[in-house]
């Protein structure tokens, strides 16, 4: 079964907007801090904003949201291999926790490699978050239409019953 059946352009657009809001809001300490530090002339290096594992924290936050979407107990969940995806997401969250621990405790002198790895994990987490959001939005949209159709059918049946009762 293809998980992307029934996904429309609007679902992709809405997920993109959700992603933009999420990234702009969650990364405000980095981009606003960089702007302020640049304006006051104290910007020594851009790495000062992400050398301590900050992207590992951002990744964990996105992945926690994805974990909820994957493992939620909805009647019709669009995620194939739910158990595998849930476990994989938890493993990624643990990896981000490990990366943050290594960064904060200075367990390695390979800071550039650590920063690069946390940024790669962050990009991967953003991608996972985006696709999970697309599926969640499509699911919600589908469920609402199904509910509307059900309500219309119920109203039709009630109307038919009233007409029959009034004719007798």
In a domain, 6, yes or no: no
In a domain, 59, yes or no: yes
**Residues spanned by the domain of 125:** 11-161
Quick count: other Cβ atoms within 10 Å of Cβ 104? 11
Residue 77: pLDDT band by 50, 70, 90 thresholds?
A: low
pLDDT given at position 21:
95
In a domain, 143, yes or no: yes
81 backbone φψ class: left, alpha, beta (φ>0; ψ -120 to 50): left
Residue 44: pLDDT band by 50, 70, 90 thresholds?
A: confident
Per-residue pLDDT tens over the stretch 55-75:
889 999 999 989 888 887 565
In a domain, 91, yes or no: yes
In a domain, 168, yes or no: no
pTM surpassing 0.85?
A: no
Going 128 to 131 to 133 to 139, the CA torsion angle's sign is: negative
How many independent structural domains does the chain possess? 1
Distance separating alpha carbons of residues 121 and 113, to the nearest angstrom: 12
In a domain, 71, yes or no: yes
Task: Report the share of the chain in percent with pLDDT over 70.
Answer: 86
In a domain, 39, yes or no: yes
pLDDT given at position 76:
58
Per-residue pLDDT tens over the stretch 149-167:
777 877 778 877 888 887 7
In a domain, 57, yes or no: yes
Distance separating alpha carbons of residues 162 and 145, to the nearest angstrom: 26
Determine the distance from the C-alpha atom of residue 18 to the mean position of all C-alpha atoms in its chain, rounded to a whole number: 8
Going 11 to 15 to 21 to 22, the CA torsion angle's sign is: positive
């Amino acid at each position: 079964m293809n998980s992307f059946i029934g996904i429309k352009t609007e679902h992709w657009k809405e997920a993109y907007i959700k992603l933009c809001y999420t990234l702009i809001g969650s990364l405000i300490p980095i981009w606003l801090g960089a702007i302020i530090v640049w304006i006051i002339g104290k910007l020594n290096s851009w790495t000062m904003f992400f050398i301590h594992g900050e992207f590992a924290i951002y990744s964990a936050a996105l992945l926690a949201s994805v974990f909820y979407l994957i493992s939620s107990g909805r009647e019709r969940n669009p995620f194939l291999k739910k158990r595998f995806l849930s476990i994989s997401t938890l493993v990624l969250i643990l990896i981000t926790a490990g990366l943050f621990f290594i960064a904060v405790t200075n367990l390695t002198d390979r800071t550039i490699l650590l920063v690069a790895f946390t940024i790669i994990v962050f990009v991967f987490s953003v991608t996972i978050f985006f696709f999970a959001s697309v599926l969640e939005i499509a699911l919600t949209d589908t469920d609402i239409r199904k509910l509307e159709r059900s309500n219309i059918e119920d109203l039709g049946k009630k109307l038919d019953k009233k007409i029959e009762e009034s004719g007798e």
